Structure 1
């Protein structure tokens, strides 16, 4: 089974961290718990206060990278569980979201970060929940959109409790930072997302090619431990009108769970919301294809057998979860029926599914190099390809601005698996991956092209931001 991101990382080091963020099916042993605070992180920082991170350094030991590439650690010792990054338009600064609710504005010329917001009192930070998405307005560095899980109406945010999601706009100015609630709007009694379990919460944020449209993702809100068609509880309207649970991703409820939404003119009087894709288990991270298109590539975190990349080309595509998952190589790579949910008897209500652009089985290596070297999950002295589990935890594109990256690594799709501790690359429409970075110190939970067209990633395990350059 693929475990939730934030409470299982590897068998050896960070067993309590990772699995929950992506809502993977659980392993039986790891405790649901947040990892300890990075001891180098200041315990208390005021809004507007700057902190100095450790100097930029070269990762030791280096991950296995293609010739000419080097990984460097940009920000270390000053962050606590970073989850996502977004660059300003000039790519001189990077904005960083922490799982607990803090937002930083960091200088790319010096390892200095300024705290611009602390939403910790508004964020449910528990296992898979937290502040997980961030996107800087490409037209205005002073506007930062954030996506987070909200606490229950009463009681502590811990374990299985009713939570929701919120998209907000942070506006920074000399007088400070203000928050405007975008979705749902302030005062609205209608919730956009509903979650009960500690995983499959909200996901990521991506701007469209027009720099005005915002895309937002969320998981299905269902149990990741067992088959959930609404019979397990009465939260989110479950238990009354079956099927619910994971079937919320099929639009059977008022909530936009297991879906990607498009928000036009977010926060304005002309704001509109439309469904872009549904039938997704946990679209924790997704990316827009570079160029003049709003085609999206979604890292869809899997159940017991598969991790997938789904390709959105038109509105309303249905990727089939929970009735379909992964692909059937023997059936011309069509979407494969998901036996656990097919056996519920409810899948006859829903028609077909769009097959993944790419999928990898938990029982398989991802590239030929992985298989030969027993890397990216497998132990060199034995063990299967997902010795520690599998989870597609990050996905992103580079663009064509790099003057140093070889052609095959520009305008390329990259995806990472936190538990296999590797990053792979391919160039759509080619969907044959090759290993790019192996033996990472931790694991990626966000991948973005940044300054000079280089690939940057967030390492949740080590609470660092890293950059991969080419000589």
Structure 2
């Protein structure tokens, strides 16, 4: 969730800063736009990560540890526990349960609840393997799951759709899950590599723990031929070996986890390749669909310099888009990986223009998103996105705007829409610099923007009173 870490001490410090009103910089610069108030909807949560609103008025909240709580309504203060997956969920550092989605027709026609989480065991292993700890200096081999849950005869039933995303680090695990307009399920996943070092598979104990080419597990990984670590985000380009899902966006059938026949790579012999609709992503923690379109907008958490918002105009279009990580960061070549002299990057640098899709918008860690916004720099971790609808109670300037949040800076902004409906990177408003640790944004009841503050343990609403 954070760019490189989520330590217990950071939770305590951030909670203190939220309580004292000092998160995000100078409180004098943190006033909400005129007419807005920031309202606590639910409090007393333990590291909440995701909120989902049911058509019957219930509100589902996922917690990082693997618990899903359900509130009967927005005024309910005593939730029930819908699911407790703490035995399976690897709740360590940045890892844990991060995705939660309710399918079309929920709950009458389709009673399943969908989740994504880091699994406390390697791919195909049995949890709990590490019991939410890692004695091997953040080099515990894990994986991730996408599952659907239902209560049957008073018991929770979990049906695992996918277990993949080899994970060798304490960050960049599984990301968001979202239902597309056609009812298919979109899932984003991180590269599973080191969050703060150049990683091509030489890290870990043993080295190359995911067994990426050309060496076996424990083998020597050296440039230029190494394909491990962050280079797993380019795995679809190496068809000689089985494809992993790290660093990709996939589109699958919500009851089988298989690739629909109209995916752009559906003719591949590799089942994972068939699922992939975008790749070259570092940590696409959150993504959102632009209303009225099939577009996917991804917040890709950056490495040394840039935070990205990436636009995928059509997940079904060919060729499948490559967003360039780790060979690119922002719009340019990533200097640390370029210096490593890796073949997968060299061939990408030599490819024709347009082979790599540049970010729709990116901001540097050393610069403010909005000059004088009072948000902390130099750092950043884009962790939430939401489009405001074309009609709603917010002022006209925010209709069709893209709201986005940064966990490290504790801030939320709105990128206002152009006349054609696309967000305008030259027209960004600060909404709040006191958002605590925002990790989710969603337009909920009343057409208001709700956000989840992980560090403060709350779900909050940005209310406009006129």
Q: Same fold (TM over 0.5)?
A: yes
Cα offset, 1:89, TM superposition? 3.0
Aligned residues: 396
Residues 106-117 of structure 1 mapped to structure 2, 5 A cutoff: 106=71, 107-117=73-83
Cα offset, 1:160, TM superposition? 1.5
Q: 1:466 aligns with which of 460, 463, 466?
A: 460
Equivalent in the alignment of 2:297: 297
- CA displacement, residues 147-167 of structure 1 (integer Å, 9 cap, x when unaligned): 011112444442311111100
Cα offset, 1:62, TM superposition? 11
Q: Normalising to structure 2: TM-score of the pair?
A: 0.79
Cα offset, 1:443, TM superposition? 1.9
Cα offset, 1:270, TM superposition? 8.4
How far apart, in 2, do the equivalents of 1:16 and 1:355 lie?
38
Equivalent in the alignment of 2:181: 209
Contact 1:422 1:435 in 2 (8 A): no
How far apart, in 2, do the equivalents of 1:165 and 1:240 lie?
24
How far apart, in 2, do the equivalents of 1:270 and 1:341 lie?
32
Residues 419 and 162 of structure 1: is their aligned pair in 2 closer, same or farther, counting only changes over 3 Å?
A: same
Equivalent in the alignment of 1:275: 276
Cα offset, 1:433, TM superposition? 4.6
Work out whether 1:161 is the aligned partner of 2:158: no
How far apart, in 1, do the equivalents of 2:426 and 2:384 lie?
17
Equivalent in the alignment of 2:62: 97
How far apart, in 1, do the equivalents of 2:299 and 2:156 lie?
32
Q: 2:39 aligns with which of 72, 75, 88?
A: 72
Contact 1:416 1:422 in 2 (8 A): yes
Structure 1: tracts of 5 or more residues without a match:
18-37, 39-59, 185-191, 328-335, 378-384
Residues 42-61 of structure 1 mapped to structure 2, 5 A cutoff: none
Q: Normalising to structure 1: TM-score of the pair?
A: 0.78
Structure 2: tracts of 5 or more residues without a match:
20-26, 216-225, 262-273
Residues 135-214 of structure 1 mapped to structure 2, 5 A cutoff: 135-141=101-107, 142-152=111-121, 153=125, 154-156=129-131, 157-158=133-134, 159-173=138-152, 175-184=154-163, 192-210=164-182, 212-214=183-185
Q: What is the SS of the residue equivalent to 2:275? A: strand
How far apart, in 1, do the equivalents of 2:4 and 2:435 lie?
19
Q: What is the SS of the residue equivalent to 1:109? A: coil
Residues 268 and 129 of structure 1: is their aligned pair in 2 closer, same or farther, counting only changes over 3 Å?
A: closer
Contact 1:400 1:453 in 2 (8 A): no
Name the stretch that deviates more: 303-312 or 239-248: 239-248
Cα offset, 1:239, TM superposition? 6.7
Q: What is the SS of the residue equivalent to 2:210? A: helix
Cα offset, 1:111, TM superposition? 2.6
Cα offset, 1:231, TM superposition? 1.9
Equivalent in the alignment of 1:44: none
Structure number with higher relative contact order (C-alpha < 8 Å, ≥ 6 residues apart): 2
- CA displacement, residues 399-423 of structure 1 (integer Å, 9 cap, x when unaligned): 2352x21122222211111121111
Q: CA RMSD in A?
A: 2.7
